[in-house]
A and B are shown apart, each in its own frame.
Chain A
Amino acid sequence: MSITQILFWILTVAVLFSAIMVISSKNPVHSVLWLVAAFFFISGHYILLNAQFLAIVNIIVYAGAIMVLFLFVIMLMNLNKSTEPLKNRSLQIIGILSGGCLLLVLVAALRNTEISENTALVNTGDAGLIKTLGRELFTNFVVPFEISSILFLSAMVGAVVMGKKD
């Protein structure tokens, strides 16, 4: 059992645990924090897969920017105490059950597929290095890159239209 495997298992357990905590904790603030934790562990997986760039971006953008944004909003609405009354049990049960079934079905379906014997190459390979990605991004992927600028523009306009008091 190599170190990477051990790390993998630890990270996996941690991710799943914090994810579950996200959806189960009463206090919104807590679930935000758990989500941040989950993102960190996912970044850990990225590093394990030698995708440093994504790992960093994930931490900066997600855990850093986005989650903080969430936190702000929640604070702003001072939902920090568990204001949420329980959703009626039956629906919850159904939700959990159907989710479980979905997982079961997907796993059962995808367990042995055409790629099931393949492996993901861990802690080697330069695909995930900033150098490679950067070159790709600004050469071949420039079109979607520019397109995403439209997306941002519209998001910006939207945020203004929505947020501004009138």
Chain B
Amino acid sequence: MKIELILIPLLPLAGFLLNGLLRNYLSKGLAGIIGSGTVLGSFILSIAAFMQVKAGNIAIVEYFDFIKTGSLHIPFAFQVDQLTAIFLLIITGVGFLIHLYSTAYMHDEKPHHFARYFAYLNLFVFSMLLLVMGANFVVMFIGWEGVGLCSYLLIGFWFKKKEYTKAATKAFVMNRIGDLAFLIALFMLINKLGSVTFTEIFTPEALSKLSGFDITMITTLLFIGATGKSAQIPLYTWLPDAMAGPTPVSALIHAATMVTAGIYMIARSNLMYSMAPGTLNCIAIIGIATALLAASIALKQNDIKKVLAYSTVSQLGYMFLALGTGAYVAAVFHVMTHAFFKALLFLGSGSVIHAMGGEQDMRKMGGLSKYMKITHITFLIGCLAIAGIPGLSGFFSKDEILAGAFGTSPVLYVLGLIGALMTAFYMFRLYATTFCGSFRGTAEQKSHLHESPAAITIPLIVLAILSVIGGYVGIPEFLVHGAHTLKDFLNPVFAQSATELEKLGHQHPSHSTEWALAGLSSLLVLIVVVLAWNRFSKKPDMDEAKGLGKLLQNKWYVDEIYDAVITKPLNRLSVFFSSVFEKNIVDGIVNGVGKLVSYGGRQLRWMQSGQTGAYILLMVLATLMVFVLQFFLRK
């Protein structure tokens, strides 16, 4: 067991080292094989591990002492339970597909860049695996920062383009902000509980040691960390820019896996959150707000990847909504389904972009359905899934989230529903403008429009299938009794927090209401889908947006605001410090002392006038003074 588990991350690491060190000697094929092969390997191992967990034996293995000073003991240990197992499958499985996809997608790169790409990708898988397998917060944090590093490297993969590297830096720094909060939370845990090991802290006894304030503080800080990683308000702006990276990267990191790290982390510490109702509400509000904001922006984007990026943000918002309403299972569920269909959509868009020769503006596309059948079909499935059409995976997970929201407060439900409708709308706006109508690109582009090679289409197909059937692991209670296998599977992880949530009075809506809600939402979604389809398949909105539209197109000017409020002032401050304060105050005082001394030297010269008479006079005066002081003033 010990060996298999360590192998799961080690294989990608080995892939990273091989590809990284030998990048100048490997052929593309070999690099691709190493890259995907290692991930495939760990996928198989993950299945094995999953089976083990399913059989009910949860593995906690300790490898070596990472840090051990005094009472503080942080081992380098793995913990594989149900939650981890799920994520393992998602990461390695989807990861493998995307590796496979990349072999074709990145084929135009130079060999050593090709190898470098796979090295990064493998490193990412490695860190992501550390993140989910870590048995304590520190190991998790190692992965947490590791994935941040990899996203930095991959966003800036084409490092010759300045703006790409800028985007990469932005992503890293924004993550850093979250990471600091994460760290602080860790320190609080260490200093209050003396441990960061999950099994030691996530027990009612241990947590009861924390005061209400502490627990709220810790959970909030952790959540801030999550907002950084999972692109929530206020730290979401890096994710759309992250689309600078290669499309498969967007699919893997910025849709399927890394961005869900926040959800994983909160789900992992569900008990603690269940004890902090304040934080839960805050999470719910942030989540729904992000969902709506991102969705609204997505409505007016024309870059195909941007749309998907904002949709990702909003979907993540849904997941946080779920967490906030205590529906952890729903959140994990949605992570899974979302991984399927969002990866599918990204890869599909990648295939499109591939065909269009790098063109990403969908206004220049259109009518592609004729040219690329498989891509078209799979993409459509993806859209239907994300829109939440009944029967596809998206429906189940989203419906569960909405139900949970309703259970907390109807307002959340309504807002969530609006978000869902917007999702449906922009997705089909995207679909229609891309695939329907007539081709609007240049003739030269038109000339080599073609269906992508198998290495691209196969993953699409697989993912399409998954996004269709993926939902059936979690058929809601009110449809079929006891068919929510996922819930049952995850039960051990969330059992304790369930009892905590009872205290908070999270009640689950009755089946009848759920019927109603599900019916209502499905109906509205269908209407919206049809609307959007008709609206955009004829003529896409080519005209320049104005008013609210313009506001949306410019993403509510959030980037500009951040720039004006944070970046610019800091830079100005920096200039001020280095050119004014440092020179004139800090260093100025030091030099001032020096100047003073030499000035004093210059001033003392008058005594040394060269006049004998003056010298003697001064001596006499000194004598006089001493005598006066000695005899008349000194007692």
Contacts and interface: CB of A to CB of B under 8 A. Distances in A.
Nearest to A99: B620
Contacts of B632: 108
B624 A98 contact: yes
Given A105-B631, A108-B631, A109-B631, A94 B624 contact: no
B191 interface: no
B585 interface: no
Contacts of B624: 98, 101-102, 105
B613 interface: yes
Interface string A88-131: 00010011001101100110110000000000000000000000
A98 B627 contact: no
B596 interface: no
Q: Which of A98, A102, A105, A106 has the most CB of B within 10 A?
A: A105
Contact of A102 (B613, B614, B623, B631): B623
A1 B312 CA distance: 127
Contacts of B620: 98-99, 102
Contact of B627 (A95, A99, A106): A106
A165 interface: no
A164 interface: no
Nearest to B628: A105
Nearest to A92: B613
B564 interface: no
Interface residues of A, number: 12
Contacts of B631: 105, 108-109
Nearest to B616: A95
A105 B627 contact: yes
Nearest to B611: A91
Nearest to B620: A98
Nearest to B630: A109
B617 A91 contact: yes
A103 to B, nearest CB: 10
Contacts of A98: 617, 620-621, 624
B621 A109 contact: no
Contacts of B614: 91
B613 A91 contact: yes
Interface in B594-635: 613-614, 617, 620-621, 623-624, 627-628, 631-632
B613 A87 contact: yes
Contacts of A108: 631-632
B627 A109 contact: yes
Contact of B617 (A94, A101, A106, A109): A94
Nearest to A94: B617
A69 B624 CA distance: 34
Contacts of A94: 617
Contacts of B621: 98
Interface string B255-298: 00000000000000000000000000000000000000000000
B625 to A, nearest CB: 10
B628 to A, nearest CB: 6
A99 to B, nearest CB: 7
Nearest to A101: B624
B617 A95 contact: yes
Max chain A Cβ within 10 angstroms of own Cβ: one of B614, B620, B632: B620
Nearest to B623: A102
A91 B617 CA distance: 9
A91 B621 CA distance: 13
Interface of B: 613-614, 617, 620-621, 623-624, 627-628, 631-632
Interface of A: 87, 91, 94-95, 98-99, 101-102, 105-106, 108-109
Q: Which 5 A-B pairs have the closest CB atoms?
A: A109-B631, A105-B627, A98-B620, A102-B624, A101-B624
16 contacts: A87-B613, A91-B613, A91-B617, A94-B617, A95-B613, A95-B617, A98-B620, A98-B621, A99-B620, A102-B623, A105-B624, A105-B627, A105-B628, A106-B627, A108-B631, A108-B632
